[in-house]
Every structure is written in structure tokens, then in C-alpha cells.
Structure 1
């Protein structure tokens, strides 16, 4: 009897250990870091969150490595915006079952919230010059290569809807963890409401202060908090704009009485300095990917607040 129990225990141990090996790579895989902020809040204490796009890489030209493809195939759940934003994932996600995938842009609650015309436009003309955004009769900035602005993580409400969808999928996949997942979602919604209120209060005095961004990414955030962009320029960090191009940008900054011009971490400061030189326009940096923020339960709220600080420090002149 003792020998039989020993053999049974050994067989059970072997089965469990092989299952553990098979599941070693399994986790929730988020396409981009800010998506990882939302995922990590819901998955906290239940399963690991991994981010596919490495810090410093661009979603515009990233190519999946074989190890990335393996991670996607082994994931319990894959969360991404959709093929319009992460084109590099499109082929690899087609074979992933719908029950193991959240495509944020396609969520029923998100579709009515999509904003027209702000998709990435990291395309240069034949001379290697980046194009400036132009204003319509209503003053809206339009320059895009897709129908919708896909920087959906910059909308607090879309982040909340994404969190609900992630929660619901994980409950289906891991019903034994329902209580923890429910608590995590409740915590996320409370943190989000508090951060949204704080950011709204911080940015309210800055309504009407005009500024330019280099990358037309921030429409959802700007709409939420009543900010006033005057336009945008997409600057290829690999190509230094020529003197004529810089003069055009500088003229627009002065004519439209811009308070501030914002770069992003991946753009060389020399480009920003060249644009603002000889004007009274201040220089700032906006980080739409939260590259310096670590994944945690609080990281999305931290991300919203960090962007608010980046806007206000430049627009106020702190």
C-alpha cells in the first residue's frame, strides 16, 4: 500500500512539474507599456504581466522576434489596441483565440468614444521633412493616415472600459481567482477616479494656453482635460530638419503665440532647441508611453499624473 501511494505521489508530482514547465511562459502579454499599466492593475496577485514592446522601441517600426511570437502563442491573454496601432502584431494575433485576446479598439463600449483623425503620421515627404499639422475651419488639428486616433490608453474612460474587459476575460480563464480579480478592478476604478479628479484640478488653470506637440498623440487626454493644442509636427529623430523647415515651424510658434513646444523622450533635444531658439516659447517633454514608470497596481494613475505634471510644468513655466 505504501509503495502504491509513493508511486501515485511520484506520478502526481511529475504531472504537476510538467504542467508548471508548460505554463512557465504563460502570462498576460500587453502590446505596449501603457496597456501593461492597466493589465498589471487587474492581474495583480493573480498572474504575471509582460510587455511586448521594449522600452525605447517604436511601435511604428518594431519587428517581432521569434521569442516574442512564442510569448504571444503561450500567453493566457493578449491585450492590444488593434492592428491600426500595433501593425507588427497583426499576423501573430490572428491565430490567437478570441477568448485569449482583448482588442481594445473593437470593444463595444470603446467604439463610440473613438476620435477621428489623429492617427500616427510618422511619414516624411521626399526631402525628409516632417509635415506640420494644419487646422480645419473649426480649429481642430487634422493630419493622419488612419480614420481614428489609436492612442486609446490616453483616455481615462477607455482605460476603465479596457480594465473591465481584461477583468472579464481573466475571470473566464481563471474562475478560481474571481474574488481577487473583482477586488483589483474595484481598486483600479477608485484609483482612476481619484487621479482623474486630481489631474482635472491641476490642468484646469491651463485651459487656453496654446502649445505645439511633435506627435499628434494626445487628443483623448487633451479633450478630457480641456487643453488647447495649436498644432503638431512629426519629427523623425533620425533626420535633422533643415534650416528652412525649422524657420517655418518657428514662424508658426510665434504667430500663434504658443506658450510651449513639447518633444518626446525619443526625440533629440537638439531638434527642440533648434525649433524654439530665438523665440520666447518654452520647451517641455511629454512621454505618451510612460517609459520610466514600472508596472504596478498604481502605474496607470501614476501615468496620468505624470503627463499632467509634464504639461503643467512647461505651460506654467515652473
Structure 2
């Protein structure tokens, strides 16, 4: 993505979504795998860069994108504004659906592959019990895996989630011989087609995956 942006025309307008005023950009959980202080691979230091998994951020960004487009193309400002409001309404409806879908599994502990889901977990009161890795590029230490394994063995964590982009071997190691089960979460919507439905479908799929897996 960074390379694609760098290859745009010199006069192209770019918007740093995470820098938009009001964006929820919390510090990552700090659930370190080995006690070392290392930055997240996405380049935002200790902040959680997975802001698109916060639906309120999504609404905020829609307004900012519409405003930017209107400045560049004022003749179509009314259309951009209408599209943004329609998308915001769609997000509000999706929140209601996800709240109903996820309410029955609140309190069900789980472990995720990497520290990407804090926004989503907080929004729907889902108790994340840690991440296998805090960075896309850093392999967890043996001590970290042992700690997570203890949580799984004690049944504190009932599901451990991998991601489509990564090897499932670590997840299988954690759940092997325990009552816990493994599932898949996709924070990028890697199997979805680009277009106006990608964002709501990504969030809906994420919520459905959590609900399906965590339902006793």
C-alpha cells in the first residue's frame, strides 16, 4: 500500500486517516511476548494502527474523505456528501446487527494471532486474552507461547484464532491436547473484492466469525 501511494502523481491528494482529528488511536495492549520494547511492524510505534476495525473511526473517516473529495471536485460535492451519509447510516445499522450477534458471546475468552483487534474487542465487550505476536514480523518467544498455552490449558481461553496470511502451526501448537479450538479471523478482508461493500463486509465477516466460534 505504501508503494502504491508513493507512485501516485505528484499533485495527487493523500489523506492520512490515522492523523484525522478525533480518530481513536489507542496504545496497544502492552501484553509483551518477551518484555522487550519493540515497535509494531506497521510503523506507528506503540499505537494501534488497525483503526479501520473501530466503526466510529470508519464514520469519521467517511466525512473526512467526502470533504477532501469535495475540495478537489466541488462540482460533485453534493454527491460525495450524500454517499458519505449513506455509508454512515449503513455502519450504524451494522453496529446494531453486530451488537445483537455478539451479545451472547460476551465474556468468552479468546486469543488472537496478532495485536490487531483491540478496537473491535472494546466496541463489543469481547475479552481478548492476548495475542500470539504483537508484530506481523516478530516471532513470539518460547516464554510467550508458554504463557498463552497456560491460558488455554486452564480453559481461560476457549478459542485461538489464526489469520489467512500466516502459518497456523503456532495456533495448532497452543490448542493441541486441550479443549480449546482454533478458528480464523481476517482483519484485512483478504478474500473480499474491492468496492463499496468491502468495508461493511469485512466487519460483518469478522463479527460473524467471532460469534460462530465463541458460541458454546
Report the TM-score, using the length of structure 1 for normalisation.
0.59
Distance 1:75 1:224, change over 3 A: farther
Aligned to 1:132: 33
State the SS of the aligned residue for 1:233. Answer: strand
State the SS of the aligned residue for 2:67. Answer: helix
Larger radius of gyration: 1
1:85-164 equivalence runs, <5 A? 100-110=13-23, 113-118=24-29, 132=33, 145=39, 146-164=45-63
Aligned to 1:69: 6
2:208 is the alignment partner of 1:309: yes
- Greater shift in the superposed pair: 291-300 or 207-216: 291-300
1:131-183 C-alpha deviation (Å, 9 max, x unpaired): 6389xxxxxxxx86334212111100011111100000000001111222122
Alignment check: 8 A CA contact 2:18 2:51 kept: yes
1:197-246 C-alpha deviation (Å, 9 max, x unpaired): 10111001111100111201111111111111111111888998798875
Alignment check: 8 A CA contact 1:230 1:256 kept: no
Aligned equivalents of 2:69, 2:203: Cα separation in 1: 25
Runs of 4+ with >4 A deviation: 235-248
Alignment check: 8 A CA contact 2:161 2:185 kept: yes
Aligned equivalents of 2:137, 2:121: Cα separation in 1: 28
Alignment check: 8 A CA contact 1:117 1:147 kept: yes
Q: CA deviation at 1:75?
A: 6.8
Structure 1 runs not aligned, ≥5 long: 1-51, 54-63, 77-99, 122-130, 135-142
1:277-301 C-alpha deviation (Å, 9 max, x unpaired): 0001010111111111112222211
Q: CA deviation at 1:275?
A: 1.6
Aligned equivalents of 1:243, 1:115: Cα separation in 2: 27
Aligned to 2:76: 177
Provide the alpha-carbon RMSD of the alignment. 2.9
- Greater shift in the superposed pair: 234-243 or 169-178: 234-243
Alignment check: 8 A CA contact 2:28 2:115 kept: no
Aligned to 2:127: 228
Structure 2 runs not aligned, ≥5 long: 40-44
State the SS of the aligned residue for 2:114. Answer: coil
Aligned to 1:257: 156
Alignment check: 8 A CA contact 1:191 1:298 kept: no
